Amino acid sequence: MFAPLAAPELRRYYAGHPAPPEASAPPAASISPRDGGTSPLTAPTAPAAAAAAVPMVHVLLVRYTVPVAEVAPHVPGHVAYLERRHADGTFLLSGQTVPDDLGGVILAVGDREHVEKAAAEDPFAVAGVAAYEIVTVEAGRAGAALRALLS
């Protein structure tokens, strides 16, 4: 079960993020497909050519297999490993879970075999203090900002 964020955590999360503009709903008659309008479900979609292919994305769940105190000696090697994989473009994002005793999450791109080999090289995995679970996502849709990041 996920615990809700406390108010101070929400403020830190949203700090610097502008509030979304107020949405003004169009008149009900204009959103009904039966009346010739469109709804979010029936609105025309962008041409296929405009939606560039999104590469495979992998969510790597890094779960500690030992108490956190036993993980600590391996952190410097793990951080160096993360920096190398970020620099070579394999990892897009990495961070600890909240609470941090669960492990971490990494967002990776590339073919699955490459990502599996990269995960096996992690000093945490080599030392046996963490185990990886890799979830591969074949994105059907992605926002423009994410497509630009992945291309």
pTM above threshold 0.75? no
| 90-103 residue pLDDT tens | 999 999 999 887 89
- The H-or-E segment that residue 130 falls in is strand 130-137
The residue with greater pLDDT, 27 or 137, is 137
Tokens of 49: 């050519």
Q: Which structure tokens are listed for 85?
A: 């994989």
DSSP structure string for 66-127: S-HHHHGGGHHHHHHHHHHHHHTTSEEEEEE-SSGGGEEEEEEES-HHHHHHHHHT-HHHHH
pLDDT of 142 reads 83
- Averaged over 61-83, what is the pLDDT? 96
Confidence of residue 46 (pLDDT cuts 50, 70, 90): very low
Positive/negative CA dihedral, 102, 104, 110, 114? negative
Output the CA torsion sign for 117, 123, 126, 131: negative
**Which whole number is the average pLDDT over 104-126?**
96
Residue 84 vs residues 36, 50, 89, 92, 126: alpha-carbon distances, Å:
55, 33, 9, 12, 16
pLDDT average, residue stretch 129-137: 96
Residue 123 has pLDDT above 80, yes or no: yes
Q: What is the pLDDT of residue 54?
A: 67
Position 51 pLDDT exceeds 50 = no
pLDDT at position 72 over 60:
yes
Query: If we measure between CA atoms, which residue out of 112, 110, 108, 116 comes closest to residue 82?
Result: 108
First to last CA, the chain: 35
Collapsing DSSP states into helix, strand and coil, what is residue 137?
Answer: strand
pLDDT band at 5 (very low <50, low <70, confident <90, very high): very low
In this predicted structure, the answer to whether residue 141 has a pLDDT above a threshold of 60 is yes
Question: For residue 82, which amino acid is it?
Answer: L
Domains in the chain, CATH or no CATH each: 57-150 (3.30.70.1060)
Q: Which of 27-31, 131-135, 144-148 has the highest mean pLDDT?
A: 131-135
